[in-house]
């Protein structure tokens, strides 16, 4: 069977109602980072029902992972780590193509959702609502059903395919790290597609993101005798200005072409501040938390050093800075890599009313598991539905037609990619 015939047969075998029903079932399972076992087990049952082979729920030794020198960090407490793995055999015996999606989600927030529960999976006006619908259970369901369609059509692709449903992406990527750990020096996959919500762009470059925590020390005094003290808030203000100036500098003359096309390729942001214990006292302590970028082709050590230098200068000896939580390196795959070309063409083949302009090569300013795969020597791109603008927000949703279109893109890629 030719590639074209294989694609046509597998596309015809795609069970669209089952795809959407499985996505609703996944969204219905709360899977906030740190509590993923139930959703992984539901996903495993779906994979078995779909006819995929070697379906496994894998557990890992957290102590060993945390002791690894390349440990990517965590922000959420957990007492176990589980991933899903399922396989589709290919004609060649070489490393398979990986399709990877994370099954953990951020919390639902405190604002009421339109359809009552953040786990409703309700379909309203062609949109499926619920936490994790866009980021990124839709990507997992589309990958699973793309593989199921290939099985149902009795197509054997050139490369085997391995589906990975990973945990802990939202707080650093420990799930993908565990799945890849110990595979060096031989890359375990010939390529990887991560189905993050990219709006059907084929992402070949990803900025890194490093979480930092700082403490500014002041000197307490009664507010009526303010000059006898030294406000930690006043001492923080030059630090904030210095971080903003660093952002301006990092986004001037951006080298990587795909990143240069973004409005703000490398954001520096402070997201939390806490200071003072009493309105009539000069605060002697301020805590701040934020994130700093890692430029494409820049090391994590270099990115940290840039932040540390500006904080040290602006803080004048009054600031302690440490690196906390998730530590996302940057990543890039050559734009002319065969996997990027296959995904680009597969996405463009779905152009229409639902997906008007798919298949653009792009970079993104957010961290993802992509960098863990490229660090392991695996060429990796990201491609998925739209939805990044509503990810992590109240009333997160995904367009049903886009989920089906993504499954069709992945079917095309599975059938055509030869490594």
The pLDDT of residue 111: 94
The CA-atom distances, in angstroms, between 287 and each of 23, 34, 160, 351, 386 are: 40, 25, 50, 48, 35
pLDDT tens figures, 379-395: 999 999 999 999 999 99
Q: How many residues does the chain have?
A: 419
Burial of residue 348, with CB atoms counted within 10 A of its CB: 0-12 exposed, 13-18 middle, 19 or more buried: middle
The CA-atom distances, in angstroms, between 256 and each of 204, 331, 369, 373 are: 11, 11, 20, 20
The pLDDT of residue 418: 84
pTM (2 decimals)? 0.94
Q: Which domains does the chain have, with CATH numbers?
A: 3-205+331-416 (3.40.630.10), 208-328 (3.30.70.360)
The pLDDT of residue 1: 62
Low-confidence ranges of the chain (pLDDT < 50): none
pLDDT tens figures, 234-261: 999 999 999 999 999 999 999 999 999 9
**192 closest CA partner among 34, 351, 362, 342:** 342
Provide the token pair at 138.
């839709």
pLDDT tens figures, 187-219: 999 999 999 999 999 999 999 999 999 999 999
Task: State the residue for tokens 């069970």.
Answer: 15
Q: Alpha-carbon distance 343 to 187, whole Å?
A: 20
Q: Where are the beta strands (DSSP E) in 276-369?
A: 281-282, 285-294, 319-328, 331-332, 361-364
Looking at the DSSP bridge assignments, the partners of residue 273 are 288
């Amino acid at each position: 069977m030719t590639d074209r015939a294989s694609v046509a047969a597998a596309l015809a075998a795609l069970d669209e109602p089952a795809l959407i029903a499985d996505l609703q079932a996944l969204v219905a399972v709360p899977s906030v980072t740190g509590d993923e076992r139930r959703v992984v087990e539901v996903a495993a049952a779906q994979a078995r029902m779909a006819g995929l082979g070697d379906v496994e729920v894998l557990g890992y030794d957290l102590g060993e992972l945390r002791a690894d020198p390349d440990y990517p960090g965590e922000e959420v407490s957990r007492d176990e780590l589980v991933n899903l793995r399922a396989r589709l055999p290919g004609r060649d015996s070489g490393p398979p193509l990986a399709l990877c999606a994370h099954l953990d989600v951020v919390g639902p927030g405190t604002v009421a959702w339109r359809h009552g529960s953040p786990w409703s999976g309700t379909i309203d006006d062609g949109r499926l609502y619920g936490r994790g619908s866009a980021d990124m259970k839709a990507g997992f369901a589309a990958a699973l059903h793309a593989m199921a369609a290939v099985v149902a059509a009795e197509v054997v692709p050139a490369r085997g395919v391995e589906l990975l449903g990973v945990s802990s992406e939202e707080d650093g990527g420990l799930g993908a790290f565990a799945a890849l750990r110990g595979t060096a020096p031989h890359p375990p996959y010939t390529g990887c597609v991560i189905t993050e919500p990219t709006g059907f762009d084929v992402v070949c470059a990803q900025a890194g993101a490093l979480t930092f925590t700082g403490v500014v020390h002041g000197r307490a005094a009664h507010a009526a005798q303010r000059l006898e003290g030294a406000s930690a808030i006043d001492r923080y203000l030059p630090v904030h200005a210095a971080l903003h100036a660093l952002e301006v500098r990092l986004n001037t003359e951006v080298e990587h072409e795909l990143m240069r096309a973004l409005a703000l390729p490398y954001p520096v942001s402070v997201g939390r501040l806490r200071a003072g214990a009493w309105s009539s006292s000069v605060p002697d302590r301020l805590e701040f938390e934020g994130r700093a970028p890692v430029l494409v082709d820049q090391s994590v050590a270099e990115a940290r050093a840039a932040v540390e230098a500006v904080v040290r200068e602006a803080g004048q000896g009054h600031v302690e800075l440490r690196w906390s939580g998730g530590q996302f390196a940057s990543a890039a795959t050559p734009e002319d890599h065969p996997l990027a070309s296959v995904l680009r063409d597969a996405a463009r083949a779905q152009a229409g009313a639902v997906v008007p302009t798919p298949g653009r090569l792009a970079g993104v300013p957010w961290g993802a598991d992509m960098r863990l795969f490229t660090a392991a020597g695996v060429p990796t791109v990201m491609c998925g539905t739209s939805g990044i603008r509503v990810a992590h927000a109240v009333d997160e949703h995904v367009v049903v037609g886009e989920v089906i279109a993504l499954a069709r893109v992945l079917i095309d890629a599975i059938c055509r990619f030869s490594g």
